[in-house]
Amino acid sequence: MQTFLHGRDLIGDLDFSKEEVETVMDVAFDLKRKRALNESTALLRDKVLAMLFFFSSTRTRGSFEAGMAHLGGHAAFIESRTTQISHGDTPKEIGEIFGRYFDGIAIRHVDWGVGNKYQNAVAAASRVPILNMQCDVYHPFQCLADLMTIIEKKGRDLRRKKMVVSWAYAASYQKPMSVPQSLVLQMPRFGMDVVLAHPPEFKLMPEVMDMAREQARKFGVGFDVTDNMEEAFKDADIVYAKSWGAMVHTPDPDEGAKIIKKYEHWITDERKMALAKPDAIYMHPLPADRNIEVTDGVMDGLQSVVYDEAENRMHAQNAVMALTMG
Ligand code: CP
């Protein structure tokens, strides 16, 4: 078990080794059990986390804010538009100054081509850990919560489990591709055979795909890509289907929106779920476009674990904060 995570950033999924992620899981399950028993988990007494948001959130804000309180500390919600960032505060100022006020700086910045660079620039100037609450490239805390949920539902031995990471149709907006990218990087390290399904225009970043193939090779698991959603669902143990934008194909949002419309049939419905194994679980990080991206029947059905995933955000995040900020 690798336990020395004090002072570490978590920006990309591979920033922590597999052994370090296993430590996070152990601590997360312990914190979840303690909360169920109403035991104190005040591991970060007098510590303060800055939560800097450039984009909206339900789960991420709620879970980090509640989580810091459960750990005996405090989280400060800072909405970027209320700061002086638009008047000249650079990532260096944020890293230098917030690093002196706070014990950790969590950032959500999902702008395509900007968010990840911003977080790394803040990290370069900060003396405290930078925690990625989602950028344009990665959503590592969502992925840790997903891994925790999969372990709860399928056990610790995940070798030969088939996980489908599929694109799904959604009309609301071009969603970041950070969730599927985090999944294809992290899940092969835990033994799952990953199948990535998307229409041709919804490719992930080539450099992330290279890293994912490398992880699959290193851990001896399968990693296949298909443009056939139904084929991908066949005999799956874990179905993770969500929408993302066509940013790799075209940076033009209007063109991206037009392309999305071609694929309305990429909805997760009961007929497609029936192609997976009878005990397959359905996962989604939320928010979802109900009855567009996924039917109510699947979302609210017996195979859905979406609310456990949302809960596990808090336990996985609390584990990382306790390990890095303690
Ligand atoms: N899954 C997730 O990150 O949810 P929010 O966008 O509501 O934070």
Residues forming a β-bridge with 88? none
Q: Report the pLDDT value the prediction gives residue 272, as an integer from 0 to 100.
A: 98
pLDDT in tens, 165-183: 999 999 878 899 999 999 9
Look at the block and give the residue holding tokens 């999305």.
260
Domains parsed from the chain with CATH numbers? 13-139+313-325 (3.40.50.1370), 141-309 (3.40.50.1370)
Average pLDDT over residues 2-27: 97
Give the pLDDT band (50/70/90) at residue 1. Answer: confident
Tokens of 325: 């900020």
pLDDT of residue 115: 98
The amino acid present at 122, given as its one-letter code, is V
- Say if ligand 1 is within 6 A of residue 57 CB: yes
Q: 218 CA distance to ligand 1 centroid (A)?
A: 31
Q: In the prediction, which pLDDT does 172 show? A: 79
Residue 179 · residue 153 · CB < 8 Å: no
Q: What is the dihedral of CA 60, 182, 86, 7, to 10 degrees?
A: 80
> Ligand 1 within 6 A of 324 CB?
no
Contacts (Cβ under 8 Å, ≥6 apart) of 270: 295, 297, 298, 301
Residue 173 CB less than 6 A away from ligand 1: no
With a 6 Å cutoff on the Cβ, whether 63 touches ligand 1 is no
- What's the pLDDT score for residue 135? 98
**Percent of the chain beyond pLDDT 70?**
100
Please state the separation of Cα 286 from the chain's center in Å.
11
Over the chain, what is the mean pLDDT? 97
Choose one of 60, 131, 139, 309 to mutate for the ligand 1 pocket test, by most ligand atoms within 8 angstroms of C-beta. Answer: 60
Q: Could you give the CA distance from residue 204 to residue 230 in angstroms, rounded to a whole number?
A: 20
217 CA → ligand 1 middle, Å: 31
The rounded Å distance from CA 136 to ligand 1 centre is 13
Nearest CA to ligand 1 atom 7: 58
Residue 58 alpha carbon to ligand 1 centre in Å: 6
pLDDT in tens, 42-87: 999 999 999 999 999 999 999 999 999 999 999 999 999 999 999 9
From the list 99, 102, 101, 37, the residue with the least C-alpha distance to 70 is: 37
Token code pair at residue 204:
């992930």
Residues 6+ apart with CB under 8 A from 182: 13, 138, 139, 140, 142, 143
83 lines ligand 1 (CB under 6 A): no
Three-state SS for 197?
strand
The CB density around residue 113, as the number of other CB atoms within 10 Å, is 10
Atom index in ligand 1 nearest the CA of residue 60 equals: 8
Closest CA to 56 of 286, 247, 283: 286
Question: For residue range 251-288, what is the model confidence (pLDDT) as tens digits?
Answer: 898 999 999 999 999 999 999 999 999 999 999 999 99
